Amino acid sequence: MSDLKQALGEAVSAAFAAEGLSADYGRVTVSDRPDLADFQSNGALAAAKAAGRNPREIATGVLERLKGDPRLASLEIAGPGFLNMRLTSDTLTARVREIAADPRSGAPMVEPRRVLIDYAGPNVAKPMHVGHLRSSIIGESLKRLFRFLGDEVLGDAHFGDWGFQMGLLIVAASDENPAWARIAEQDDGEIEGLDLAVLDRLYPMAAGRAKEDKDYRDRARRATMALQSGKSGYLRLWRHFVEVSRTALKREFKALDVEFDLWKGESDADPLIARMVEELKAKGLLVEDQSAQIVRINREGDKRELPPLLVVSSEGSAMYGTTDLATILDRKESFDPALILYVVDQRQADHFEQVFRASYLVGYAHEGALEHLGFGTMNGPDGKPFKTREGGVLKLHDLIEMAREKARQRLHEAGLGAELSPEDFESTAHKVAVAAIKFADLQNFRGTSYIFDLDRFTSFEGKTGPYLLYQSVRIKSLLRRAEAEGHSAGPIVIEEPAERELALALDAFDAALTEAYAKRAPNFLAEHAYRLAQVFSKFYAACPVLIAPTPELRASRLALSQTTLRQMETTLALLGIATPERM
Ligand code: ARG
């Protein structure tokens, strides 16, 4: 099964080729003048330019060859040499029936590969900030998309549990309470009272102090080193920190509908580090530099100098890059992915470039099998990375709570949800909140930064998640009403302009998926969902469904509504957005 755009493109390409021109000119796009055409080809203009010929003359040659294609109702040359194509109603009807009969709503499948997606990347005891939020939202969507198209995918949270912040926490806990200090130093006693609230307080305090106090910093460095060397009391405290943080984080991710297949941490790569260091040495890649061990990753032709990858610090501890490199080895041996995607803040671009290059050098991955998918920041109204009114980082938990409160308010204002039970109302408000946050993020290309504006994100009007939920719920209620009145769906027939437009929008699902997949960019799916909602809304206004002029037409329009709803819910699910039954 192939979408109409692609099928037409193949026909136009063949026509160009038959004219002795490159088939590449045959690319077809959705017409920007739907009143005149469904699809257009601009290839004659480019071909004419390259060949020094007249574009209309080329277009005429192509047109002559396409004449007689039974799928085309009309075929015209416009302006300097655009080729405008309109499809017959039968062609659209056949295509939509195909989509309606397909449980995948017309989605393509890819040649399956093993793909690992590294996203969210929360850290022990450090509150998650908006960078982690964006990574979670984008990564979750990519995971669902890749899996839907047929890849074997694992999502890994890559928990930050092995670096300097662990040493800081051990020092801070030891200073705070003699009982905890005894556990740290003598591995003696039970851990009591060291809960999330304590961690939340200790970490920022310790991080702040380490910035100013060199002795404190050195203690934390030594503690990190001792932990990594296996000091038993430190390990016990550390395990406790990890457990407390992970439990809290899992709760927050669940609220966001973000799920990982693996909850591996940086620490899981630790057992592989010694071997990795040996392999780097054996390949002559590891060099000593100011009593640290580094890998030089510069390449000829680099526009700027990239610092080397620090593998073993002068204290002998593993660094961020060390665990990342060893994690690639771990992933290769446990899953052997053809592709690893790292969904991490653009500001870590250099770090990943260093790790990737080192990994190619030592042979843990093929060139190109590692991709850093950077993203921009979520900013406050001042254009700087978002901070709370108090100037701190916004915790994910608080963000969700804020969005939920706003969603309740929005539902009330719009007169929605009044007939729901209190539990259903809460569940709908939660879905509206999550849709608002996620859609606001995913509608932008991931590289773009955007401004956090909860008022706009939660509106039921405009290009928002709540608008899409509202349109979906509207279709659901239409279908429920039809059922209550005893009407059922029947064969789809595409006739009216609004039906044609809806058919073309449904056909465009394939291209949206293909593009989102190729560019690792869910915004193409967000765009598709929005377009589908808008076109459905137009159709609903122009074409009566329940009171259609004939029973056949009613059955056709009901089927068209069902098909739209299913494709819409599929698209939203790929964005990580769940649709409520009622509002
Ligand atoms: N924990 C890191 C941070 O908070 C993100 C981890 C990203 N993934 C990775 N493999 N380095 O910045």
The protein residue with its alpha carbon nearest to ligand 1, atom 8, reads 121
- What's the confidence (pLDDT) of residue 122? 95
- What's the confidence (pLDDT) of residue 389? 78
**How far away, in angstroms, is 266 Cα from ligand 1 center?**
9
The full DSSP string for 283-333 is TT-EEEETTEEEE----TT-SSPPPPEEEE-TTS-B-HHHHHHHHHHHHHH
**How far away, in angstroms, is 190 Cα from ligand 1 center?**
31
Least confident segment among 129-143, 224-238, 336-350, 388-402:
388-402
Region of 187 (left: φ > 0; alpha: ψ -120 to 50; beta: rest) is left
Per-residue confidence band for 567, with pLDDT thresholds at 50, 70 and 90 = very high
Ligand 1: list residues with CB < 6 Å: 118, 121, 123, 158, 160, 324, 342, 344
**Is residue 169 helix, strand or coil?**
helix
Q: What is the per-residue pLDDT across 53-81, written as a single tens digit (0 to 9) for each?
A: 999 999 999 999 999 999 999 999 999 99
**How far away, in angstroms, is 220 Cα from ligand 1 center?**
20
The residue whose CB lies within 8 Å of the most ligand 1 atoms, and thus the one to mutate among 119, 156, 159, 348, is 348
Q: What is the per-residue pLDDT across 377-428, written as a single tens digit (0 to 9) for each?
A: 999 888 888 887 777 778 888 899 999 999 999 999 999 999 999 999 999 9
Query: Are the CB atoms for 27 and 9 separated by under 8 Å?
Result: yes
Domain residue limits, the chain: 4-87, 114-157+265-372, 164-255, 396-574
The protein residue with its alpha carbon nearest to ligand 1, atom 7, reads 121
pTM for the full predicted model: 0.95
Arithmetic mean of pLDDT, 87-116: 97
The protein residue with its alpha carbon nearest to ligand 1, atom 6, reads 121
- What's the confidence (pLDDT) of residue 459? 97
Q: What is the per-residue pLDDT across 298-339, written as a single tens digit (0 to 9) for each?
A: 999 999 999 999 999 998 889 999 999 999 999 999 999 999
- What's the confidence (pLDDT) of residue 34? 85
Please name the fold of domain 4-87: Gyrase A; domain 2 (3.30.1360)
What share of the chain in percent tops pLDDT 70? 100
Arithmetic mean of pLDDT, 181-210: 95
The protein residue with its alpha carbon nearest to ligand 1, atom 3, reads 121
> What type of residue is 369?
A
Residue in 368, 323, 358, 580 with CA at minimum distance from that of residue 468: 580
Q: Name the superfamily (CATH) of residues 114-157+265-372.
A: HUPs (3.40.50.620)
- What's the confidence (pLDDT) of residue 386? 85
Kind and range of the H or E run holding 231: none
- What's the confidence (pLDDT) of residue 1? 59
Distance, CA of 361 to CA of 299 (rounded, Å)? 11
- What's the confidence (pLDDT) of residue 219? 97
Arithmetic mean of pLDDT, 552-581: 98
Arithmetic mean of pLDDT, 220-231: 95
Per-residue confidence band for 128, with pLDDT thresholds at 50, 70 and 90 = confident
Nearest atom in ligand 1 to 344's CA = 7
Nearest-5° angle of CA 260, CA 261, CA 263? Answer: 70
**How far away, in angstroms, is 469 Cα from ligand 1 center?**
32
Nearest atom in ligand 1 to 320's CA = 11
Indicate whether 456 pLDDT > 70: yes
Query: Are the CB atoms for 29 and 40 separated by under 8 Å?
Result: yes
Q: Name the superfamily (CATH) of residues 396-574.
A: Isoleucyl-tRNA Synthetase; Domain 1 (1.10.730.10)
**How far away, in angstroms, is 123 Cα from ligand 1 center?**
8
**How far away, in angstroms, is 160 Cα from ligand 1 center?**
6
Beta strand spans in 157-199 (E): none
Q: What is the per-residue pLDDT across 544-556, written as a single tens digit (0 to 9) for each?
A: 999 999 999 999 9
Contacts of 220 (CB under 8 A, 6+ apart): 164, 167, 168, 170, 171, 206, 210
Arithmetic mean of pLDDT, 125-135: 86
Q: How far is CA 203 from the centre of its chain?
A: 30
Arithmetic mean of pLDDT, 426-453: 96
Contacts of 284 (CB under 8 A, 6+ apart): none
What share of the chain in percent tops pLDDT 90? 93
